[in-house]
Amino acid sequence: LRMSRWGERLKKVERLAQSFQQNPLTTPYKPRLWPYQPSSVWKLFPRQNLAISFAHSCKEAVHVFALEKEKASLGQRIYLVTSYSELWHYYRVYPQSLMHCYEVIPEGAVCKLYFDLEFHKPSNKGSDGNSMVSLFIKYVCNKLVEVYGIECSVKNVLNLDSSTEEKFSRHLIFMLQSAAFKDNIHVGMSPQSPDAKRQKQEVRDLSFLLVKSKDGRNGLFVDLGVYTKNRNFRLYKSSKVGRNAAFTVAEDNQFTAKPDIEKSAEENVFLASLVCNVSFTGQRILTWDAPETKDVKSPTAQSTFSGCLSSPYKEVDNFVFALVRKDGVQGSIRRWNYFAADQLLVYDIAKYRWCGNVSRFHKSNNIMIIVDLKEEVWYQKCHDPDCRNFRSSSFPLPQEICVSYILTLDEEDQAYLMDDSGNIEPSQAPNSSMHPTEETPEVWGDEQDEREFLKSLNDFEQRSTEIPDELLLTCVADFDS
C-alpha cells in the first residue's frame, strides 16, 4: 500500500515538473554566448532616456541601440540595451527583426572621427560620388596632419556604402592611431567638417563638396546634422525603414579590420564601424576650439564650448571636485573625457598633484582621477613619467551618486520583448510576473497528501544508504533519453 501511494506521489511530481517546464514561473536562463563572456543582457525600452539609465546601471559592458520597426508609426523607435558581441550574435540570427538598427552615440562620449556623405543623384548628374569620397578623404587626412600632426591615409578609413539609384550615401569611420575625439560635438566643430566660413577660405580646395539638394538649393556633400548629443547613427548592415539599402563595405574601401582569431572577419568590420567603440588605453584626446580655463572657481563652471568643465554626470563632477579641494589646496577639474565602451570618466586635475605612488605632491606633473561607473569605484593615475604605470587602489563611490542606487526601474518600463524567433512584440509580462496566480489546492494536493508524501520520503531516506554515482548517472541518462 505504501509503495502504491509512493508511486502515485511520484507520478504527480513528474506531472508537476513537466507542467513547470512548459510554463516556467520565471524567465528561462539565458546562457552566455561563449565561456569568456559576461552573462547576457538584452532589454528593450520604449524611451531612450530609460535605456541610457539602465545601461549606466549595468555591471556588464553594455550599450544602447535604437531599432525601427516596419509597421510602427514614422519615426518611432525602440531602444535596446545589450553588449556589442550579443548584438552581433542576434544581428546575424534575426536580420529581419534587427535590420533597421542604429548606434546611440552617448552625450559626451569619446568617439572616432566619422562622416555621413550624401547627395541627390538626379540633382547632381555631373557628380562622381567615388571621386568626391576620395578627394574628401585626402582633404581630411591633410587636415589631421596640419592641425593635430596625425598621419592618416585611405587605408585607415572604413568606407561603407548605402547608395541607391536616387541617392548617393556613404559613412566614413576613421581609425586613427591611438587618438580619438573628445565627443561628437568636437568632431562636428573640427576643421575636418567644413562649414560655410571655411568654404570661403578654401573655395579652391572644397569646391567639390558643393552639391544641389532635391529642391535645387545649394548644400554640402557632408551632412553636418549627425553631430548632436545621443545621436542615432545607422549601423553596418542596417537600412532605413521602407528602404532596402543597407550599409555594406564600399567597393573602393581600402581599410582592413585587424584580424581576431575569436571573431569572424565580418564581425571585425562591425566592431570597427561602431563610432563609440573606443577604449581607455592611453588614447590622445582631440578637441577643437575648446580653450582651457586657467582658474576654475566653481565645480559647475561652464566653458565656452560643450561644457568642457562639466560632464553629463554633475553629481560625479561635484564628488571629484571635493576630492581635490582639501587641506588648503584648491584643485580643479582641468578637463574630463568619457569612454562609453568602458564606462569610464577620466578627469585631468589641475593645481592638485597628490600622488599615492610617491605619497606626496608632484612638483610639476598633474594627476588623473578615474571614475569607473560600471564598478562604482574611483582611483588615481598620474601624468608623471615615473608613475605612468601606477594605479592606486580602488575606492567606492558614495552611494548617493551611484547610478544603481539612484535608478529605480519599473517592470512596466520594459514594454517590448523579443521571442525565440526574433519577433519583437509589446510585453504582457509585467502584470503576470509581478503578481503570479496562486495555484489552487486541486493542483498542489491537500495537506493530508503533503504529510503522507513527507512521511514516505523520510522513511526512504532513513532506510537508504548513499546512492552510488553509477546509479545516479544511469538515472540521468535515462531521463535525458
* Interval 244-261: pLDDT, tens: 899 999 999 999 998 888
* Interval 258-313: pLDDT, tens: 888 888 999 999 999 999 999 988 789 999 864 443 333 333 333 332 334 688 88
Instruction: Give yes or no for residue 379 having a pLDDT over 90.
Output: yes
* Interval 53-95: pLDDT, tens: 889 888 888 999 999 887 766 668 999 999 999 999 888 888 7
Rounded to the nearest angstrom, the gap between the alpha carbon of residue 270 and the centroid of all alpha carbons in its chain is 13
Instruction: Give yes or no for residue 111 having a pLDDT over 80.
Output: yes
* Interval 122-144: pLDDT, tens: 999 989 999 999 999 999 999 99
* Reported pTM: 0.74
* Interval 352-367: pLDDT, tens: 888 888 888 888 788 9
Instruction: Give yes or no for residue 452 having a pLDDT over 70.
Output: no
Provide the pLDDT for residue 326.
82
* Interval 32-55: pLDDT, tens: 555 555 557 899 999 999 999 889
Instruction: Give yes or no for residue 236 having a pLDDT over 90.
Output: yes
More confident residue, 467 or 154: 154
